[in-house]
Structure 1
Amino acid sequence: MGGTPVPDDLPDVFGEFCSAGLWPGLGRKLAGQLAGAGITGPELVSADRLELIEGMSGERAEWLAAAFRDAQPCYETAQLLAACQVPARFAGPAVAMLGRTAQDQLRQDPWRLLVLPQIRPDQADWFARKLLREQASPQDPRRGRALVSYLLARAARDGHTAVPAGVIATALARFRVQDPAAAISAAVDEGGVLPFEADPGEEADPDEGELPDEEGLGDGEDG
């Protein structure tokens, strides 16, 4: 897959990280005072330097330095996103959704970015192309699997607890997935969605075009 791409105009990840409120306890005013204390990058964050900020107590400086160290998974995720020209502010939601290993998960599967409600498939595709370069493909099994979960999550936000597999397959085809059945199967195998047989006596939902005996897909507990 290669290493993290380095754009020609490397963004100020540290500045974006701070201004986006990803450093716990650091407000916008304090963020604007960091440079004056000589704190212009993560390696320069220390309680001693923070104490150089006017009005900063030693106790608060120690707390802020510890908070930054604890936020390292978020900072590392911001670095990865920014290197792929994705705004660093999405690192916070990514860590909230994927946990402290968000960076590793996104590096292994860039389409995991679709777990963020703010992200659209075309944006996840952009991130994947930047990260994987020529290895990025619309037919990547990871993409199809992520799109299944994305479609179900979107349906859930619209109030649907289940969606017929045929409806999902049709939607996947619109995203240029050539083998929708394989994508659905991969999502089921991962545990992100649960397959079930509709109750033969259950009335179909006309909005979804669901048939009483059609196999459906529902969100898995871990999805």
Structure 2
Amino acid sequence: MKHLQNPMEHIAELLETKACVKQETYRNLQDVFKSLMTEADNVIREVNNKIKKRDRDVTLAVTSISDNEFHLKVAGDLLIFFMHTNIIMLDKKHSLNKSKYVTDNPMRKYLGQINVYNFMADSLKYNRINDPGYLISRLFVNCEKHFLIEGDGQLNYMLEDVSSQPITSTDISVFVQLVINQAIDSDLITSPFPAIRTITLNQKNEKSQALGGGYKIGFQMSYQQEVK
């Protein structure tokens, strides 16, 4: 019978390697998330300084919601930045897991993630609970603070593979700017007339999209179209 490793030794080994790497990854993720909010504030201030003519109702603001969520309002769009508390891995078939960077050190495959969702600002203002939000980008960070971005539009081309260097404040600022651009460029589309010809009283009471509200074409929808 093949000699098996002592279970106690195996537990200790896992705690010294995988568990420690995941904790370091999470600490890096927290640092990046805090920097994201700081850079979002900086970008908003700079944009405000560049606007010469503006409607008083066109507001730009960053609001902290919790340790793992903040909102960035840009006119009618509300970008929700959400930091997940779990460390994950991408699918085995993902190019990251096949890269030399990860094969040289498998611990690099563990990632923290920050998702950015695009909602209509009025959805939260009027508590329209059935209005959708769209995932427009995901930012991943590992134990070495190297990062990977998935997203729609220009975000899809910002970084097609894992970064060769740890993430910087400049990288984060560019990411925030591209996220804002993508949200503004995704125009509101109303539902087809036949789809909203009839509504229920409950839909009316909840002020749902059945009343003719719009929806956005975002990263989530384009992804769904690809896999059909």
TM-score by length of 2: 0.28
* Structure having greater relative contact order (Cα 8 Å, sep ≥ 6): 2
Query: Greater strand percent: which structure?
Result: 2
TM-score by length of 1: 0.28
Query: Greater helix percent: which structure?
Result: 1
